[in-house]
């Protein structure tokens, strides 16, 4: 049964929490294990709906997975006869497209349901297909599926530029990198995404025996190898979850310590939060303390590819700026339509207008609790943040979005003093 979160506004968050392993970091690592002939072990994997969906897809593709502890998975391919990822599973999560390249490169054939768009925009996969075609893949779109073949069973090294209209693509870079690792010869990926999650994937592939250089730069050079072996890796801390709890501390004027944080992944976020008056102290290499000594100051910020300000912390920042002392402008350069949270924030008393790909946010003195709806996981998190400071009660519906990316959000916030709990939706009976 569907659930919602009930948040009583007005508490100041205080205490310490640990940041989960990165959702967007774990997903490509899990998919990459399909390339291996050996056993792979991943630790610090967050316990999330999206991870479970990908594991289910991988089980259907012949992967045998043992869970060894709450966040550790050990896996090995035991059956390579199936190469189809079904619509019913792929439609639950776009990142399922990550199985396309490993299946194609290792098994010579892949049939993966087209993931389609979602509420944050159209989300095409043309760059994924461009990357794979550059490596010799023959691809057709057939009844809603991507059907890809490697002539003679092997891909061939090639050269490709992966920059698109909204910058380089994380997913296309990851898929092309995985495919190139097992292709014959050398590949060069120009305009590659530099996000930490891509960097981690490249390191993991190298641990499996791949030869990738230029890691962390927009030019990746891959010398294909005939096979890849087993490897172990710990998933990096989730920079987006960290940014979300930084915003939670800041919006309530609290004093929160976050453990397991990589500051080097949060440069633009720390810079923006400092501009608006949030203090971030590095207590040690992996621990930060967040306080807000004064009012929230307005800011102009634009989301960009890494190392720019991340789109995945845009909605949470918008909630914070709703209470800023002046007018802020938040511009989306990655997903120009990722603004569904604005109408919900306005229902809570915010004064936000959308102008093209920008949100113009006029700070107000108070937000007021009401029923609001999460449109995607980050929009949902933003509404929870608004609920923490709103007068009265906020109920955030469509909680399944939030559960895709945040491990026990209500337990973490409650441990910091928030008044928040999860409730099952009442069954709706309609009159005939």
Taking the least distance from each CB to ligand EPZ, the nearer of 85 and 296 is 85
- The nearest distance, CB 219 to ligand EPZ, in angstroms, is 17
Q: Which residue of the set 118, 194, 322, 408 is catalytic?
A: 118
Nearest partner of 92 among 358, 381, 377, judged by Cα? 377
Check: CB of residue 128 under 8 Å from CB of residue 160.
no
Taking the least distance from each CB to ligand EPZ, the nearer of 312 and 410 is 312
- The nearest distance, CB 294 to ligand EPZ, in angstroms, is 30
Nearest partner of 96 among 39, 174, 18, judged by Cα? 174
408 is catalytic: no
Taking the least distance from each CB to ligand EPZ, the nearer of 197 and 200 is 197
Q: What angle do CA 208, 197, 171 make, to 5 degrees?
A: 95
- The nearest distance, CB 249 to ligand EPZ, in angstroms, is 20
Q: Quick check: helix, strand or coil at residue 302?
A: strand
Q: Which residue is nearest to ligand EPZ (CB)?
A: 171
Q: Quick check: helix, strand or coil at residue 13?
A: coil
DSSP bridge pairs for 237? 21
Q: Which residues contact 181 (CB under 8 A, 6 or more apart)?
A: 35, 105, 205, 208, 210, 212, 222, 224, 225, 228
Taking the least distance from each CB to ligand EPZ, the nearer of 252 and 316 is 316
- The nearest distance, CB 311 to ligand EPZ, in angstroms, is 5
Taking the least distance from each CB to ligand EPZ, the nearer of 191 and 209 is 191
Q: Quick check: helix, strand or coil at residue 22?
A: coil
- For the CA atoms of 261, 51, 247, 372, the dihedral, rounded to the nearest 10 degrees, stands at -170
| Contacting positions for ligand EPZ (CB under 6 A) | 24, 27, 94-95, 121, 123-128, 164-166, 169-172, 193, 197, 311-312, 334-335, 377-378, 405
Residues annotated as part of the active site: 118
């Amino acid at each position: 049964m569907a659930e919602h979160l009930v948040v009583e506004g007005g508490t100041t968050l205080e205490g310490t929490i640990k940041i989960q392993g990165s959702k967007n970091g774990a997903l490509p690592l899990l998919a990459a294990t399909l390339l291996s002939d050996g056993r792979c072990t991943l630790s610090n994997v967050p316990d999330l709906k999206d991870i479970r969906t990908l594991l289910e897809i991988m089980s259907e593709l012949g992967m045998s997975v043992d869970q060894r502890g709450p966040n550790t998975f050990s896996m090995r391919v035991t059956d390579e006869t199936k190469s189809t990822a079904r619509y019913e599973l792929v439609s639950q999560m776009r990142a399922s497209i990550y199985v396309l390249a490993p299946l194609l490169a290792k098994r010579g054939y892949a049939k993966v349901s087209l993931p389609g768009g979602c509420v944050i925009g159209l989300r095409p996969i043309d760059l994924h297909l461009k990357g794979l075609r550059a490596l010799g893949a023959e691809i057709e779109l057939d009844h809603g599926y991507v059907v890809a073949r490697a002539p003679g069973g092997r891909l061939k090294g090639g050269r490709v530029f992966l920059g698109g209209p909204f910058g380089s693509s994380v997913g296309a870079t990851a898929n092309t990198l995985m495919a190139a690792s097992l292709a014959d010869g050398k590949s060069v990926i120009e305009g590659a995404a530099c996000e930490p999650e891509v960097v981690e994937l490249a390191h993991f592939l190298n641990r499996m025996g791949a030869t990738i250089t230029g890691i962390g730069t927009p030019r990746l050079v891959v010398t294909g190898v005939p096979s890849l072996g087993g490897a172990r890796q710990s998933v990096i801390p989730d920079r987006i979850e960290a940014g979300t709890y930084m915003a939670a501390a800041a919006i309530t004027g609290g004093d929160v310590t976050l453990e397991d944080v990589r500051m080097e992944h949060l440069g633009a976020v720390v810079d923006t939060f400092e501009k608006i008056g949030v203090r971030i102290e590095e207590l040690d290499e992996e621990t930060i303390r967040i306080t807000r000594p004064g009012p929230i100051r307005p800011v102009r910020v634009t989301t960009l590819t890494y190392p720019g300000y991340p789109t995945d912390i845009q909605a949470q920042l918008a909630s914070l700026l709703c209470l800023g002392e002046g007018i802020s402008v938040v511009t989306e350069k990655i997903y120009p339509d990722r603004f569904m949270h604005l109408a919900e924030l306005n229902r809570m008393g915010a004064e936000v207008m959308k102008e093209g790909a920008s949100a113009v946010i006029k700070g107000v003195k108070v937000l007021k609790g009401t029923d609001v709806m999460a449109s995607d996981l980050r929009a949902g998190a933003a509404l929870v943040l608004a609920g923490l400071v709103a007068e009265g009660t906020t109920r955030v519906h469509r909680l399944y979005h939030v559960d895709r990316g945040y491990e026990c959000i209500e337990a973490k916030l409650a441990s910091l003093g928030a008044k928040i709990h999860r409730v099952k939706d009442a069954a709706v009976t309609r009159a005939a």
